[in-house]
Amino acid sequence: MTKTHVEVLQWASAFFIEHGREETAARLLMQHVTNKNFSALMMAMHDAMPLEQIEQFEAMAREHITGRPVQYITGVEEFYGRSFFVDESVLIPRPETEEFIVGAFARMKKLFHTDALRVADIGTGSGAIAITMKLEQPALNVVATDLSEAALATAQKNAAALEADVTFRLGDLTAPLAGEKFDVILSNPPYIAYDDMETMSDVVTEHEPHSALFADENGLILYRKLAEQVGAIIHDTALIGVEIGYTQGEHVSAFFRDHFPNAHVEVVQDINGKDRIVFCEITP
């Protein structure tokens, strides 16, 4: 018996609710299987869905209830209006990181008198920050680093697909940047305390890479190290920006104030009113 898109979607929504998953995942999977954007899918809701698409969709739905994130099943995530490849080697880009980029651009415009700046994205993961910065402001010279060879391979794949001229380097924190100077340093490092693991969704803890999620010293170690190291690789006028966990604003801003006492350091909240970003503006 032929089923319409809406009938298949209703089955999946109920199936996900029954297994404790977000029902919105059903629409995302259907958009992927049918290769339709949201508007096109809404218009096709009462049309018959081809049997092979139904079978593919149901297989993906059953995979998702095991806890595997939708983005790893489809292999893509939308970020800043572009599609990025994602797999288990990288974190799935979050909407809050789009806010991070918007905030960085606003401060760069205020702080510098040119677009031809050198930018480093430390711990690039999928490459979402580095690639978006380059594509949105092509005059930038962007270098992206990561400790994971697998993550860098994914980032390079995204840069190639999106035709972004970004340089990628393997290494820990500022080590791959030694001996150079940058105008802008951005980083979204691992920042979750290991003690928080037990309160997190299994969709995250059992599938996304722990090396990109968790960090020692209650999730603060990499911010402390960045604050200690970054002074050696920045110009006299510079912008440093890091994405943080919502309880870390006070600690992370203190690291940067200690190392850059004359800088303007601010904690920025995300759209949900939670501390999410620390920016450090350094001027002579």
Strands 76-79 and 275-282: unpaired
What is the pLDDT at residue 202? 52
- The topology under which CATH files domain 91-282 is Rossmann fold (3.40.50)
What is the pLDDT at residue 222? 85
Does pLDDT of 266 surpass 70? yes
Rounded to an integer, the average pLDDT of 27-43 is 94
- Token digits of residue 238: 């510079």
For 199, the 3-state DSSP assignment is helix
Q: Give the confidence band of 8 by pLDDT, cuts at 50, 70, 90.
A: very high
In 3D space, the residue among 84, 95, 88 whose CA is nearest the CA of residue 130 turns out to be: 84
Could you tell me how far CA 14 lies from the centroid of its own chain?
Answer: 29
For residue 130, count other CB atoms closer than 10 A to its CB. Answer: 29
**Domain parsing of the chain, residue ranges:** 5-66, 91-282
Q: What count of Cα atoms within 13 Å lies in the side-chain half-sphere of residue 281?
A: 13
Does pLDDT of 244 surpass 50? yes
pTM given for the model: 0.88
What is the pLDDT at residue 165? 98
Q: Kindly state the greatest CA–CA separation across the chain.
A: 73
Rounded to an integer, the average pLDDT of 138-142 is 98
What is the pLDDT at residue 190? 56
In 3D space, the residue among 174, 186, 274, 273 whose CA is nearest the CA of residue 230 turns out to be: 174
What is the distance between the alpha carbons of residues 216 and 122, in angstroms, rounded to a whole number?
Answer: 18
Does pLDDT of 251 surpass 60? yes
Binding-site residue positions for substrate:
188-191
What is the pLDDT at residue 192? 55
Does pLDDT of 97 surpass 60? yes
Does pLDDT of 213 surpass 50? no
Binding-site residue positions for S-adenosyl-L-methionine:
123-127, 146, 188
Are 111 and 237 in contact, with CB atoms under 8 Å apart? yes
Binding-site residue positions:
123-127, 146, 188-191
Are 70 and 64 in contact, with CB atoms under 8 Å apart? yes
What is the distance between the alpha carbons of residues 125 and 40, in angstroms, rounded to a whole number?
Answer: 31
Rounded to an integer, the average pLDDT of 11-32 is 92
Does pLDDT of 193 surpass 80? no
Does pLDDT of 200 surpass 50? no
What is the pLDDT at residue 259? 94
Residue scoring higher pLDDT (190 or 279) = 279
Q: Give the confidence band of 219 by pLDDT, cuts at 50, 70, 90.
A: low
